[in-house]
Amino acid sequence: MPLTFDELTHFSAKQFWYMVSRNRSMSGVRPYTRATCNPDADSWVAELIRWWIDQDTGLPIPERAGVLRWFVRSDSPQTWRITPRLTKTA
């Protein structure tokens, strides 16, 4: 199911991550999240999208456009990867 935020900076990081953690489906529809934003340089959203934005110009980095990144998040900041880590389950 789609989860959408209009102007993500109007939400706290805690609100955002809580809603993302509840975005799942058993109906066969693949859940995803979309958000619009125009973040201040010191906002939590700016930190979240930093990898895709040229810090000198404030513009998107063309070769990173459309690149999916995977992350693991616990009580500490998220750990990002370009490809998902595959682990064996017992």
In a domain, 27, yes or no: yes
In a domain, 79, yes or no: no
Is 77 within the bounds of a domain? no
Residue by residue, pLDDT tens for the chain (90 residues) are 688 999 999 999 999 999 988 888 888 888 889 999 988 888 999 988 999 999 999 899 999 988 888 877 766 667 776 665 555 444
Has residue 15 been placed in a domain? yes
How many domains does the structure of the chain reveal? 1
CA 36 to chain centroid: 12
pLDDT for residue 34? 92
The predicted structure's pLDDT at residue 60: 92
Q: State which residues form the domain around 49.
A: 2-65
Residue 53 lies in a domain: yes
* Number of neighbouring beta carbons within 10 Å of residue 39: 17
Query: In the structure encoding, which two tokens stand for residue 61, read together?
Result: 């980095």
Sign of CA dihedral 24, 27, 8, 45: positive
* Residue 13 located in a structural domain: yes
pLDDT of residue 44: 92
Domain for residue 50, yes or no? yes
pTM of the full predicted structure? 0.74
Residue 84 within a domain: no
